[in-house]
Amino acid sequence: MATAVLALQGAFVEHEAHLAELGERSFELRDADDLSRPFDRLVLPGGESTVQGRLLEERDMLEPLRKRIADGMPVLATCAGLILLAQRLAAHDDKGTPRLSTMDVTVERNAYGRQLGSFRTAARVAGVGQNVPMTFIRAPRVVEVGAGVQVLARIDGSVVAVRQGSQLGLSFHPELDRDLRLHQLFLSL
Ligand code: GLN
């Protein structure tokens, strides 16, 4: 089988490169026709969640993907992807833009302000290890997690990595660093 990488907009090529390095086949999901190709995993890349959400709806991809994720298909969602997965957005962020809404978390968009919009750090990720590099670009923060959601990492008290069943949500961009451990975790789900 293969991993489908949502390729409507944003940083999808870098995910494909990481997957290839780990020996995983991938292909790009651009419209509803691509959904008929066989795949058993999904990557939702960073970018602009409002644009991606609108395109998912316009191209009739939102419902089919939502159903497959709800049925347990593993997902790796980074940054804008995490916003698409979240069931709830912070009140000031919620403009009713279409989203997948399969993960029981509340997310605040662009949560680190303009000055700190982009930064790099490293931290421990539960089940992955120490010193995992983390690149944040106008990143969201998880402000509330439901009972079935496991917090995998925090930076200065903010939740930046979560897992609910086979859904893995990251505020940051592991595809922009050389470290492959988070993609490895995704492929093990
Ligand atoms: N700020 C973007 C959004 O709200 C996410 C940024 C990213 O994916 N790097 O969708």
For 15-67, the pLDDT digits (tens) are 999 999 999 999 999 999 999 999 999 999 999 999 999 999 999 999 999 99
Q: Name the CATH code of domain 3-188 (choices 3.40.30.10, 3.40.50.300, 3.40.190.10, 3.40.50.880).
A: 3.40.50.880
- What is the mean pLDDT of the segment spanning 117-121? 90
Predicted confidence (pLDDT) per residue in 78-108, tens digit: 999 999 999 999 998 888 999 999 999 999 9
Spot the catalytic one: 15, 18, 175, 183. Answer: 175
DSSP, res 92: G
Q: Which residues contact 160 (CB under 8 A, 6 or more apart)?
A: 123, 134, 136, 139, 141, 142, 153, 154, 170, 171, 172
pTM score of the predicted model: 0.97
Report the 10 Å Cβ neighbour count for 123.
Answer: 17
Ligand 1 shell residues, CB under 6 Å: 46-49, 79-80, 83, 109-110, 137-138
**Structure-token match 């492929």, residue found:** 187
**Domain locations along the chain:** 3-188
Q: Return the pLDDT at 94.
A: 87
Known catalytic membership, residue 24 = no
Known catalytic membership, residue 173 = yes
| Closest atom, ligand 1, to C-alpha of 52 | 10
Known catalytic membership, residue 28 = no
Widest CA span in the chain: 43
